[in-house]
């Protein structure tokens, strides 16, 4: 199977690249190597069962980012910061705000009852000055 990169370049599917990216995102997080390898094996099997010769790199990236979102918020944000190539801190804060709102039942950024959201509001205030 070939992976079609953003520029149209094709290269062989390499599960070790997915594992390496996930390991980096999960560094010092309570995510087992078994969980990472299991996800990659299941994903690779699914791709093979589809019988297609090519897969877009964006599909791979989105599957990884969605899995990390499910299992660990910090790993998700780490991976997202590289994968989504945030242009500045405000774009990064926007992603964190969305994550916090979703995880905490749609609390607003300045909600003092949510310490993480309150901390982000203070950071956001500093970056907007």
Which of 5-14, 51-60, 102-111 bottoms out in mean pLDDT, i.e. has the lowest?
Answer: 102-111
Whether residue 47 has pLDDT greater than 80: yes
Instruction: Check residues 124 and 101 and name the one with the higher pLDDT.
Output: 101
Give SS3 for 32: coil
pTM confidence score: 0.72
Give SS3 for 56: strand
- The residue among 119, 92, 114 whose CA lies nearest residue 104 is 114
Tokens of 89: 């801190």
pLDDT band of 23, cuts 50, 70, 90: very high
Whether residue 48 has pLDDT greater than 90: yes
Number of residues written out for the chain: 129
DSSP lists the bridge partners of residue 2 as: 12, 54
**Helix residue ranges per DSSP H, the chain:** 15-25, 33-50, 57-71, 73-83, 89-103, 115-128
54-74: average pLDDT: 93
């Amino acid at each position: 199977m070939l992976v079609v990169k953003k520029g149209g370049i094709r290269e062989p599917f390499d599960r070790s690249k997915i594992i390496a990216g996930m390991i980096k995102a999960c560094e010092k997080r309570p995510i087992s190597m078994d969980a990472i390898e299991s996800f990659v094996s299941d994903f690779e099997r699914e791709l093979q069962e589809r019988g297609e010769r090519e897969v877009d790199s964006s599909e791979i990236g989105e599957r990884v980012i969605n899995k990390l979102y499910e299992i660990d918020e910090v790993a998700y944000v780490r991976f997202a910061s590289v994968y989504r190539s945030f242009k500045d801190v405000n774009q990064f804060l926007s992603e964190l705000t969305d994550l916090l709102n979703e995880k905490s039942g749609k609390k607003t950024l300045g909600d003092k009852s949510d310490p993480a959201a309150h901390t982000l509001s203070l950071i956001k205030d500093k970056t907007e000055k």
